[in-house]
A and B are shown apart, each in its own frame.
Chain A
Amino acid sequence: MAQQLVKKDDDRDDEAEYSPFMGIEKGAVLQEARVFNDPQLDARRCSQVITKLLYLLNQGETFTKTEATEVFFAVTKLFQSKDMGLRRMVYLMIKEISPSADEVIIVTSSLMKDMNSKIDMYRANAIRVLCRITDGTLLAQIERYLKQAIVDKNPVVASAALVSGIHLLQTNPEIVKRWSNEVQEAVQSRAALVQFHALGLLHQIRQNDRLAVSKLVTSLTRGTVRSPLAQCLLIRYTSQVIRESGNNTQPGDRPFYDYLESCLRHKSEMVIFEAARAITELNGVTTRELTPAITVLQLFLSSSKPVLRFAAVRTLNKVAMTHPTSVTNCNIDMESLISDQNRSIATLAITTLLKTGNESSVDRLMKQITNFMSDIADEFKIVVVEAIRSLCQKFPLKYRSLMNFLSNILREEGGFEYKKAIVDSIVILIREIPDAKETGLLHLCEFIEDCEFTYLSTQILHFLGIEGPKTSDPSRYIRFVYNRVHLENATVRAGAVSTLAKFGAAVDELKPRVFVLLRRCLFDSDDEVRDRATLYLNTLGGDGSVVETDKAVKDFLFGTFDIPLVNLETSLKNYVPSEEAFDIDSVPKEVKSQPLAEKKAPGKKPTGLGAPPSGPPSTADSYQRVLSSIPEFANFGNLFKSSEPVELTEAETEYAVNVVKHIFDRHVVFQYNCTNTIPEQLLENVIVIVDNSEADEFSEVFSRPLKSLPYDSPGQIFVAFEKPEGVPTLGKFSNVLKFIVREVDPATGEADDDGVEDEYQLEDLDIVSADYTLKVGVSNFRNAWESIGPDYEREDEYGLGPRESLAEAVNTVINLLGLQPCEGTEVVPPNSRSHTCLLSGVFIGNIKVLVRLSFGLDGPKDVAMKLTVRSEDETVSDAIHEIVASG
């Protein structure tokens, strides 16, 4: 029989039929568990039953409360057996059942007995079981034993107590913290694992005491740490100490750097990697500090172990974001990883290469990626597409090959998220690189010819409607749009009708032909499509007369919806159905100002179709609309620029006020956005008294107060100043908010009849040079520089004095001038001693200006700068120099 079994064991085909758990059933196993109650225990049989119970639990089987209780009580009987194997199973089973609090008492005495047993292994396991099932009160009783166990000679007992301590720290921190001395002693243990567990627990106990952690790290980095795992922990704690010690040390003198560097020569790969990663993550790490770490990571890239390759490329990928040049040396090794069997490694390698590659390597990289894309999953493809998008933003001249790549992958198979990522990328490139617009739009047109995603089709149609009419030959897009009317579902058809109408409204020559197409849509089977076609035909004058589309009609049909949707939603909710129809004009147009913290969040990168650039408060369009609705501003001319809102109050004060500076040729308008954050107050006749004694070239011409400012309902005050025409006049303005306060009963919402006059001091406000420049990028700086010519070129040199770093100096000048950095030149490679930054923009009066800044370190900290300006007007070139000279 035994021989037969051996034979079967070798014969793989038969095996599956002979699963020891075949046909296992909970009820039967529970019956079998009665064997635990036998007076003469059969240890082997009991172990088998426990195995079956474990199998059931692992298969997701659940026991009812009664069943679990029965099994638990039966298992506790097994403590009578002296069989070691069975006892071990009993410990595991109790942990798996997790008895309820009222049942624990049954087993406590047996476990306490085991905890004091002479057999070490009973002690270790009893500790683990007790800590798993115990609560705070019992813990106090056994604390003494646990403290002893931590310093037990047997490493298994010590580890059991220490790991239990790590878990108990979550529930009973005050008790575990009392074990500090014993844990400290265990850290010095000769047993590697005890040291590892003790170090982990000690750090957790002391994690809020910086000095203690620092002392711990200092003493251990000098001593010996036996286990590689403990060494890794120590490296992590060391990085934490370095991070918290701040930046008050000079690079090169960094404390503990030598220790980290020495770990790079450790015999365990885990330790080497941990040290390398810690070094790459140091704040303000220098190239010199980075080099040895990059070298070991480079070696790992060609390791035979996938985990090491993965770890190395993942770390280098992160380093490439901040120190791309340091990673360049690894490019050859990384290129060979593109064909790595593990796709996670290959994707990380690709995205790293895309970050570190230079302009000349783009084409070669794209070739390699093309082969790679076909055999990876969508989630990896999305990462690659995003990396390509940023590469294209970095090297706009390479847009052709990158755009081609995107359009090729757009034609291949893929899920929604992947396709959306590609479409978003193409849209962003179209927006940012003017030269890429027409090819990009055609790629999108081809895509919608065979697009299975309604959402993407409609979004692209909307985008085509905005951008298509602005191209050199809008008629070429019509075919793609009209095909949708024949071939798609109703949602897409409706979108196509709107797009056709936009072409008709924007391009007069196309109008007759668009009308023909729209008329055909009048017979569509879907209501919405027909309604849209009818609306557009009537409003655009589809009666046959081809006239220029009225601006009001265009605004009505295609203008952005100038009522914030939140406000509309609130108003509709409050509207009570009655004789009186809902009046859309009653919806407030003011947008609630965001809390300060939100505004200061890092600026979002432009997204693709998902977030159309509307957002009422942020666009120049909506500002223009608000300003033009005030008759006093009608003769101010075109709005040149609106600044970002400047906060004039601290966060969370009674009244939140920020200001937007609107710059016109001869005027400046301050738009004060005010919010009353006190529910018990109603403010009336709110004005801002602006003192311009430090801005004497400005004279106030108009002020529009706010009649009433109820709680949490923002309102705006406008104050306009006249200034010399076309000149970047500067000045400082101090502001005081004046108003009448009326008390409000929050219960009824009624305000007192009597009000009290009050005022509230606001922060000062400056008109700075950057307010007169607009950030407008150019796709090819050199071409733009050549085409503007040297006629009005002005060049001069400036000493900027001692600066924190070259990068800080570059940033300061960019902010001072308020121009758009081009071709990624705002990023200064770390440790460079010179840098050139290219800026472009438009100066007030719509005059193009280009700036070339060459920075150099003069001595240890002093920064010198050469500023070359080219513009279409010599006064503007001079003005830019004046800004720098006076800034």
Chain B
Amino acid sequence: MILAVLFANAEGNILIERFHGVPAEERLHWRSFLVKLGADNLKGVKNEELLVACHKSVYIVYTILGDVSIYVVGKDAYDELALSEVIFTITSAVKDVCGKPPTERRFLDKYGRICLCLDEIVWKGYLENTEKDRIKRLIRLKPPTEF
């Protein structure tokens, strides 16, 4: 299960968050934990360089893309490697939508599309799509090319 996908800006404000199977009262805790994790470790990290952490049986893979930091939290089948696949799909899709690693402004400009991409990639905690070209078509309701 992919428990959470979070996007935050450089100041640690949440831009997008998606939780799956995480009780509402625990979300605040996760939010602040992830933002702190990023603040502690993401300084000086290159775009899309993956960082990883685990806490008991929960895994966290996170990275930075332009002005935006991205966090993915998973458990069980979604271990660090599966999550790195998920985050790779997310960063590729975001880059595709924004044209390059986004500034916060550009990210917000493309907010709607990014939400749609995320909807295609993670669906209620399961990975649904992994290819950026396909996702790009799906968010415009175009069938995939290989079909």
Contact with A along B133-145 (1 / 0, CB 8 A): 0100011111110
Verify A307–B50 contact, CB threshold 8 A.
Answer: yes
CA distance A122 to B141 in the complex (A): 7
Q: How large is the interface on B (under 10, 10 to 19, 20 to 34, 35 or more residues)?
A: 35 or more
**Residue of B81, B103, B146 ringed by the most chain A CB atoms within 10 A:** B81
CA distance A193 to B131 in the complex (A): 10
Residue of A nearest to B142 (CB): A121
CA distance A84 to B140 in the complex (A): 6
Verify B52–A306 contact, CB threshold 8 A.
Answer: yes
Verify A167–B130 contact, CB threshold 8 A.
Answer: no
Neighbour of B52 across the interface among A16, A120, A310, CB < 8 A: A310
Does B104 touch A at the CB level, under 8 Å?
yes
Does A584 touch B at the CB level, under 8 Å?
no
Within 8 A of A (CB), among B55-86: 61, 77, 79-85
Does A704 touch B at the CB level, under 8 Å?
no
Verify B82–A229 contact, CB threshold 8 A.
Answer: yes
Nearest CB of B to A804, in Å: 32
Contact partners of B85 in chain A: CB under 8 A: 229, 270
Contact partners of B15 in chain A: CB under 8 A: 58
CA distance A488 to B61 in the complex (A): 45
Nearest CB of B to A612, in Å: 28
Partner-binding segment picked from A153-161, A807-815, A842-850, A867-875: A153-161
Verify B111–A51 contact, CB threshold 8 A.
Answer: yes
Does A385 touch B at the CB level, under 8 Å?
no
Q: How large is the interface on A (under 10, 10 to 19, 20 to 34, 35 or more residues)?
A: 35 or more
Contact partners of B111 in chain A: CB under 8 A: 20-21, 51, 54-55
CA distance A74 to B126 in the complex (A): 30
Residue of B nearest to A153 (CB): B147
Contact with B along A101-144 (1 / 0, CB 8 A): 00000000000000000011110010010001000000000000
Does B119 touch A at the CB level, under 8 Å?
yes
Does A50 touch B at the CB level, under 8 Å?
yes
Within 8 A of B (CB), among A219-240: 229, 232-233, 236
Contact partners of B130 in chain A: CB under 8 A: 193, 229
Verify A92–B119 contact, CB threshold 8 A.
Answer: yes
Nearest CB of A to B30, in Å: 13
Does A163 touch B at the CB level, under 8 Å?
yes
Within 8 A of B (CB), among A77-94: 84-85, 87-89, 92
Verify B105–A270 contact, CB threshold 8 A.
Answer: no
Instruction: Label chain B's interface by main secondary structure.
Output: mixed
CA distance A85 to B85 in the complex (A): 27
Verify A15–B141 contact, CB threshold 8 A.
Answer: no
Neighbour of B115 across the interface among A51, A159, A191, CB < 8 A: A51
Verify B51–A306 contact, CB threshold 8 A.
Answer: yes
Within 8 A of B (CB), among A39-61: 47-48, 50-51, 54-55, 58-60
Does A886 touch B at the CB level, under 8 Å?
no
Contact with B along A143-171 (1 / 0, CB 8 A): 00000000001111001100100110000
Nearest CB of B to A511, in Å: 52
Contact partners of B112 in chain A: CB under 8 A: 47-48, 50-51, 54, 89
Residue of B nearest to A233 (CB): B77
Known interface pairs A58-B17, A89-B112. Does A310 touch B105 (Cβ–Cβ under 8 Å)? no
The 10 closest A-B pairs by CB, nearest first: A51-B112, A15-B105, A121-B141, A84-B141, A307-B84, A310-B52, A270-B81, A344-B53, A58-B16, A307-B50
| Chain B interfacial positions (CB closer than 8 Å to A) | 14-17, 40-41, 49-54, 61, 77, 79-85, 103-106, 108-109, 111-112, 115-116, 119, 123-124, 126-130, 134, 138-144, 146-147
Question: Could you list 26 A-B pairs, sorted by A, with CB under 8 Å?
Answer: A9-B103, A18-B105, A20-B109, A50-B112, A51-B112, A58-B15, A59-B14, A84-B140, A84-B142, A92-B116, A120-B147, A121-B141, A121-B142, A122-B141, A128-B123, A156-B144, A163-B123, A163-B124, A229-B130, A233-B77, A306-B50, A307-B81, A307-B83, A311-B79, A314-B80, A342-B52
| Chain A interfacial positions (CB closer than 8 Å to B) | 9, 12, 15-16, 18-21, 47-48, 50-51, 54-55, 58-60, 84-85, 87-89, 92, 95, 119-122, 125, 128, 132, 153-156, 159-160, 163, 166-167, 191, 193, 197, 200, 229, 232-233, 236, 269-270, 273-274, 305-308, 310-311, 314, 342-345, 377
